[in-house]
Structure 1
């Protein structure tokens, strides 16, 4: 039952009241999201200046270090998920955040490429554990009917926090002082420390209780997610569908600069619009997404938005003036629609297709095959759009359509596997 209006934005108009999480637990999880993303956003805003001017790395070395950290995170995703199941999602969520705190505290003292790689790889390990633990905890602690909606509010809250963090990072950059930039990671560490404490104040999830009782020390019977072909394929195709972020953050901005006459200042408006929409839309777009059928409907909606964005953006090579500005902006808005729709779909698939006894392990497999489904996109999409032009945009849209078509049988296969492998009683025991 939702809390009364008096506990959910009393005095606000109905449309704004909808943006306030409906239950005490969902509000606590939303606040956690704001704490985390504010700290993360504050550092990321000035990270390029920090790494090149404070640490003294070249742009090439920054790219290499980030690639090494990305490979480490990829390799650690599955074992991190296993650790989460073994020791409990809430405990591992809090501990991994403390690990991230230590990494940020160490950053001001980093002075070489090797030292930064060590910190970045350590951060990747904690990031893998934190991602698996957070997602496993949220699915485990919430009633089935609240899972998708609460994750939508958490997604909105993350964007609120990233916006606040960007403002704080911008203020730090405005001082034009390398000393200020050097110690910005400590500000992030303080917020993440508060975040870790806040996590410990959350209620234990059922899996945490099973760990405390010793039940979770026994590995569940039956095949795990690495022997679940439907889940592997669903994760892979979701990774492809999430390449809307590549369009959003890389391809459309590069296209604007290289292939249109739109003013470069439009980029600020594009990203600003995306941030605002990702704050306000998820609470609305996630409504009605509960079942696998709902999730597949959202996948097709996301695909439609993505393809429309490709079609609109590709014609801006031949337009001029305000027409170009308007069309590029609409193209960016429609790919934001693809983002929020696929988010809701992904949450519904996680809620329905993951073995409740192995959620950490399933999260690890999702991260691995999601990366395989989309990590190739920055290079390929950029080449297709900027080198092939209109034909390239059509190929990009075609890739998304193929991934969408592949999702249907993959989800059905995953659901069939779930019904054969674990029972409804397992879900009730975990809820």
Structure 2
């Protein structure tokens, strides 16, 4: 009978990525996201207090860069399919490093827009290439589990980086902010190094037998699944934008509740994303997980909306915790189901292009979400207006999620031409 130490060691190893490519991708993700988490909290202060841009200029620059960046996902995904995703992903990481380091040279709005646009193009394209790398590492359940584990690693890295950023925020000087900028740039370079331990992923190559160009743009059934999953993904914006404003201005909960519930969400995602992803490597189970997420998100938002009627701060906080637990469960099911669908519905040899296209659903929602959630869930006037806004948004999300199973059944039945034998990517 194994002793307690052996059992504990086995449990710890079960939480770690498998040796080889999965572990290398986890290390790459942890390093890169720690750098991103380090820069994220100080970016607005750096560009306004150190560079000298107005807050409105920062908003315009980020919006322009974000919209242009969306256009890079499919083309760079196609490049990854054609020439090999591992090398393409490494190049985009180095592009992010160069663009981030260039922030130190920014002294005008146009320079700000240019550098952020390059960074956004590299980030969006890199996400598509990274998705293709993951698609080549495993199949079905194994692939979804790896993607879920990498999401947990992402949250861990962002949390560590955000905590370290407090040092720069406390110093509040240009030298401190520039240190963060260069550390972030270096993190992308370091994130590219572990990719050397990832085996080359098969590339589709070129020629008449290669997958047709822009095939995903003609795949209406995959497009419908992308749109529906994109609508459901608004829960990310509810958490990051709507919930803090709701707690501060519409509920009786104490202000420190904002940090408490967001931290609880982060911890739960880190611990539970992999368990919630079990079984979603098959299309029916993945679609069912997305459908389930819609109703659970609606229930969580209904509970959060009830904090407007709480008679004491303690009751409001309890309702927030309950609502956040439900919200997090919905987020976990949506992420797991979306991962499975984005891979399993994509033709072999086209994961980069299809992953890039699937990311557009989330990208479009992220662009529209600030206007939607602030108008619907944070409406001025009588209390019932904002509460009904939460309920309405929840119903829209639940309806979109409920339509996913039928949409995936149609997508799974679409005819596909035989794909060519892949060409090995050069090491």
The two structures have a TM-score, normalised by structure 1, of 0.90
The CA distance in 2 between the partners of 1:344 and 1:21, in whole Å, is: 17
SS in 1 for 2:347: coil
Give 1:2-401 correspondences, 5 Å limit.
12=8, 16-207=12-203, 211=205, 215=206, 219-221=210-212, 224-319=215-310, 320-373=312-365, 375-387=367-379, 388-401=385-398
SS at match of 1:289: coil
Cα pair 1:81 1:364 within 8 Å, conserved: yes
Aligned residues of 1:139 and 1:351 also touching (Cα < 8 A): yes
Partner of 1:421: 416
Q: Write the distance in 1 (CA, Å) between the matches of 2:164 and 2:313.
A: 34
Q: Summarize the Cα distance change of 1:217–1:195 in structure 2 as closer, same or farther, 3 Å threshold.
A: farther
Q: TM-score normalised to the size of structure 2?
A: 0.91
**Matches of 1:144 and 1:340 in 2, distance apart?**
18
The answer to whether the 8 Å contact 1:356/1:426 transfers is no
Deviates more, 1:143-152 or 1:342-351: 143-152
Q: How far apart, in 2, do the equivalents of 1:178 and 1:189 lie?
A: 16
Checking the alignment, whether the CA contact within 8 Å between 1:42 and 1:168 is kept in structure 2 is: yes
Consecutive unaligned residues in structure 2, runs of 5 or more: 380-384
| 1:355/1:422 contact within 8 Å kept | no
CA distance in 2 between partners of 1:374 and 1:106 (Å): 26
| Long gaps (5+) in structure 1 | none
SS at match of 2:28: helix
Cα gap change, 1:79 to 1:324, in 2 (>3 Å): same
Deviation at 1:85, TM superposition (A): 2.0
Give the RMSD, CA atoms, in angstroms.
Answer: 2.3
CA displacement, residues 342-376 of structure 1 (integer Å, 9 cap, x when unaligned): 11101111221111122221122222344345532
C-alpha distance 415-426 of structure 1, shift in aligned 2 (>3 A): farther
Asked whether the equivalents of residues 233 and 410 of structure 1 are also in contact (C-alpha less than 8 Å), the reply is yes
Displacement of 1:119 in angstroms is 0.1
Q: CA deviation at 1:341?
A: 0.9
For 2:124, what is the secondary structure of its paired residue?
helix
